[in-house]
Amino acid sequence: MASILEIRHVSKSFPGVKALDDVSISLAAGSVHALLGENGAGKSTLIKIITGVQAPDAGEVLFDGASMRFSKPREAGACGIGVVHQERNLVMRFSVAENIMLDRLGAHSLSRVDHTAIADEAVRWLKMLDLDIDPGTPVSRLSVAQMQLVEIGKALSLRSRVLLLDEPTASLTPNESAALFAIIRKLKADGVAILFVSHKLEEVFGICDTVTVLRDGRNVCDSVPLAGLNRQDVVKMMIGRAEQLARRAPRSKPAASPLLELRGYSSDAGHRDVNLTVRPGEIVGLYGLVGAGRSELAKSVLGLSRQTGGEVLLNGQAVHITSVASALHHHGIGYVSEDRKGEGLILLHSVLDNAGITIWQRLASRFGLLHDATVAREVGPVIAKLEVKTPSLQQTIGNLSGGNQQKVSVAKWIAAGVKLLIIDEPSVGIDIKTKAYLHDLIHELAGRGTAILLITSDMPEMVDVADRILVMDRFRIKGEVENDRVYERVSQAIMTFIHDRKAA
Amino acid sequence: MTTAASDSATTPEPGAAEVPRPSVTLQVLLSNEFGLAALIAVAVVIFATSLPGFTSPFSLFTLSRQIGIDTMIGLAMMAVIVTGGLDLSVGAIGACAAMFFGFGLEQLGLPLPVAIVFALLLGAGLGAINGITVVRSGVHSFIITLASMSIFFGVMIYLTQAKGFNGLPPGVAAFGRMKLVGPVSVLLVTTLAVCAGLLVLYRFTALGRQMLSAGANARAAELSGIEVGRTLIFCHALTGALAALAGLMLTARTGAAVPSMAGHLGQDWLLPAFLAPVLGGTLLTGGRVSVIGTLLGATFVTVITSGLLLMRVSEFWVQAFLGLMLLAAVLIDKARHTLLRRRGMI
């Protein structure tokens, strides 16, 4: 197969580090190419070079055999290279059609916008993606999955012959992902070259034809067929050693009386009649599709939305929690947010401040005095134990990699010694090694008696980590699945509860 | 204590190492504080050699007094910029507190220390009103304090009938003339003491850390167990108290409390209030302060202003020049912000 886009021996340095060192990759028409590597391996730098955001120091970019030098993302777009970034890049208040046609709304800045023509053009692309929505709908009313498809539509409408998808399924449910894959296969049949970046190997093996693996800015392999490889081979290439596939045995049931119990709980976030118990030492999973109300339930229990009915019991005592501060300081409840950068960490501040924020109040002297050394004495061992890679505790946390940031956002609750830890999507955007580490850590915490409520949309993660799984749909608990680690059975049982909605 | 953390410094992760880490010396040289100190030194050398009156004891005394007052005004604004907000009513609060101080001394016959404490409490109270309104309404502090500036000032003018208090005890004016260590005004020494207090607050207290976290990312701070609303109200109250102190210092300088001491609605304070912290490297988006930077920023502005005035540059040109300087400082702040964003810290 002829390659449309070829990257040859590209290197790129930033002060202090070589992000890419002699990297090559070649994308063929009508094939799906997986780009794999841990965080910091150089994937994003490579994407930036392909899309013209950054220029390579050495090497060349060949498009249709001709050497190109993109200096702006627009130039790459004009050539037919479309990209869908991990973050959404849509104008929320604009319509679907306006978003798809955003840079072609009129011949020039002051010309009248022909809404009919734009809608017609947009519908063409929506149809191609089997997306049955009115082009006049504001994007803000779409689901996350629909927004993703609109972005793909936008990229395709530029007549893209190369489509880069950066972690397209990060915020999609299994069903939505399956629908996306069907579209990817269709595009492939139409001759589009697709570069697929993902941390989820199941997906990679499901739809990709060839694979390029980067490690520490170098090619471990360059555009080899995926057919001859198995999961272990790929993981080995990514992390430099074989993955420890130690399937955990189901844990024995803790007998202690429940630490947290919700009885007929309702909230003004929309929850109705929620019953839930978490015992000390138990890992309770809360599974559901995006928008099922899981994070909202966690935040409601923390006092961020009002309880409108039912009871919350901690150690058998009815309590009324009105703020996160009281949830932490009086009741020992912690929450690891799914939105690490927005809600979990203060990126501007140091590792020490981020890890110590939960214990300042406890450590401060009678006059409110608090010395860095005092905080470091408490936080240092936890940071060290979690193997957070940082030059010092004073390092600004925004400079650390995603995996290390996530470790710190867990570390602060360990330092606070919480009795109940609610963990929301622990492995979004972090590498395999850290993910496995966090799973071990959750088990270790539970082993020491911490009650864990785990929220995740990652089914393998849920099956691997939780003791039992509650299924939530539309702000209600639909049922409970005992987790015996048999993936097929457990995932089937979960999906049955969710698809039960038509019958109900 | 942090062995593993420092061990790993030898094997930096590729992802983490993408950011260049300048050496400590370079960081110091690139810092705002160093830049300002150098600029001040250059300005002082130029003025001292070209303007004969610049280094006279009287000139140095007035210079130090003005630095003391302008720094205090800048610190007042800095305390609220920490939250990513601002307070347009600093001048109005300062004037209100000064007038209340005069009223307490002259009409109520309060002892001096009691009058000072009451005036500072009034300032803190007015600031707290701003803070409570901002937190409860969720409206940006710009609008809230624009409104409260007019309200505070208007009520003060109504209550005082726009008449000043000229019969203050002689101790007040004497304090304004007092020198410590050569020609240095006691007002500057007061300001330095407050600077020291604020340094301790932001660096060595739980409250100060809470203020910085709530300012940098209110949502994350709240989800980490910080009582963000209460913390933000504290910040506004601190601003009010510092503005009141600046008002009292100004009263000591003039020896009388007059409603127009900070201009109509207290607007004369706004330029120095923003110039000092922004020049000094306090991030307008919140979460990072520099007390020393604010002191140096105010010093720089005062030195330039008095130098220009000694050169008989017209007051209007000086105003225009200060406006330009604020614009430059804001652009530098923006560049700094972009740099932080590029490094993924915001």
Whole-number pLDDT of residue B23: 59
Whole-number pLDDT of residue B345: 55
Whole-number pLDDT of residue B4: 37
Question: Is CATH 1.10.600.10 what the domain over A3-239 is classified as, yes or no?
Answer: no
For residue range A378-419, what is the model confidence (pLDDT) as tens digits?
999 999 999 888 888 998 898 887 788 999 999 999 999 999
Question: Is CATH 3.30.70 what the domain over B56-340 is classified as, yes or no?
Answer: no
Distance, CA of A51 to CA of A82 (rounded, Å): 8
Q: Do A360 and B206 touch (CB under 8 A)?
A: yes
Interface contact A366, partner B, CB < 8 A: no
Mean pLDDT along residues B15-24: 47
Q: Please state the three-class secondary structure of chain B as a single string.
A: CCHHHHHHHHCCCCCHHHCCCCCHHHHHHHCHHHHHHHHHHHHHHHHHHHCHHHHCHHHHHHHHHHHHHHHHHHHHHHHHHCCCCCCCCHHHHHHHHHHHHHHHHHCCCCCHHHHHHHHHHHHHHHHHHHHHHHHHHCCCHHHHHHHHHHHHHHHHHHHHCCCCECCCCHHHHHHHHCEECCCEEHHHHHHHHHHHHHHHHHHHEHHHHHHHHHHHCHHHHHHCCCCHHHHHHHHHHHHHHHHHHHHHHHHHHHCCECHHHHCHHHHHHHHHHHHHHHHHCCCCCCCCCCHHHHHHHHHHHHHHHHHHHHCCCCHHHHHHHHHHHHHHHHHHHHHHHHHHHHCCCC
pLDDT band per the 50, 70, 90 thresholds, residue B1: very low
Whole-number pLDDT of residue B243: 98
Question: Is CATH 3.40.50.300 what the domain over A260-499 is classified as, yes or no?
Answer: yes
Tell me, yes or no, if the two domains A3-239 and A260-499 fold the same way: yes
Whole-number pLDDT of residue A356: 95
Distance, CA of A305 to CA of A323 (rounded, Å): 9
Mean pLDDT along residues B16-42: 68
Mean pLDDT along residues A94-100: 87
Write the CA distances from B319 to A283, B186, B253, B315, integer angstroms.
65, 27, 22, 6
Interface contact B227, partner A, CB < 8 A: yes
Chain B contact set for A217 (CB, 8 A): 14
Q: Do A40 and B223 touch (CB under 8 A)?
A: no
Whole-number pLDDT of residue B6: 36
Residues in Cβ contact with A231 at an 8 Å cutoff, skipping those fewer than 6 apart? A201, A205, A243
Number of residues assigned to chain A: 504
pLDDT band per the 50, 70, 90 thresholds, residue B20: very low
pLDDT band per the 50, 70, 90 thresholds, residue B13: very low
- Give yes or no for residue B32 having a pLDDT over 60: yes
Q: What amino acid is encoded at A359 in this protein?
A: I
pLDDT band per the 50, 70, 90 thresholds, residue A503: very low
Nearest to B269 by CA among B291, B252, B244, B287: B244
For residue range B144-164, what is the model confidence (pLDDT) as tens digits?
999 999 999 999 999 999 999
Tokens at residue A372, please?
């860095």
Distance, CA of A345 to CA of A361 (rounded, Å): 18
Interface contact A371, partner B, CB < 8 A: yes
Q: Exposed e or buried b for every residue in A10-21, given b needs 16+ CB within 10 A?
A: bbbeeeebbbbb
Domain residue limits, chain B:
56-340
For residue range A127-179, what is the model confidence (pLDDT) as tens digits?
877 778 888 888 888 877 788 888 888 888 877 889 999 888 776 777 778 88
- Give yes or no for residue A431 having a pLDDT over 90: no
Interface contact B197, partner A, CB < 8 A: no
Mean pLDDT along residues A451-463: 88
Whole-number pLDDT of residue A246: 53
Interface contact A361, partner B, CB < 8 A: yes
Write the CA distances from A361 to A330, A367, A370, A394, integer angstroms.
12, 11, 9, 20
Whole-number pLDDT of residue B19: 42
Please provide the average confidence, as pLDDT, over all residues in chain A: 86
Distance, CA of B208 to CA of B162 (rounded, Å): 38
Whole-number pLDDT of residue A40: 64
Q: Do B346 and A348 touch (CB under 8 A)?
A: yes
Q: Do A401 and B8 touch (CB under 8 A)?
A: no
Lowest-pLDDT choice from A39-53, B33-47, B165-179: A39-53
For residue B201, give the chain A residue with the closest CA. Answer: A369
The shortest CB-CB distance from B5 to any of A325, A337, A380 is to: A380
Whole-number pLDDT of residue B90: 97
Mean pLDDT along residues B318-342: 82
Q: Do B2 and A40 touch (CB under 8 A)?
A: no
Q: Do A399 and B345 touch (CB under 8 A)?
A: yes
Q: What angle do CA B179, B181, B187 make, to 5 degrees?
A: 45
Mean pLDDT along residues A295-324: 93
Please provide the average confidence, as pLDDT, over all residues in chain B: 89
Interface contact A41, partner B, CB < 8 A: yes
Residues in Cβ contact with B103 at an 8 Å cutoff, skipping those fewer than 6 apart? B160, B165, B257
For residue range A358-385, what is the model confidence (pLDDT) as tens digits?
999 999 998 889 999 999 999 999 999 9
Nearest to A73 by CA among A45, A57, A43, A50: A50
- SS3 category, A412: helix
pLDDT band per the 50, 70, 90 thresholds, residue B87: very high
For residue range A217-266, what is the model confidence (pLDDT) as tens digits?
888 888 889 888 888 788 778 766 554 445 677 787 777 899 999 999 99
Domain residue limits, chain A:
3-239, 260-499
pTM of the model: 0.78
**Helix residue ranges per DSSP H, A386-486:** 402-416, 432-447, 459-465
Specify the residue for token string 């720089």.
B300
Q: Do A40 and B14 touch (CB under 8 A)?
A: yes
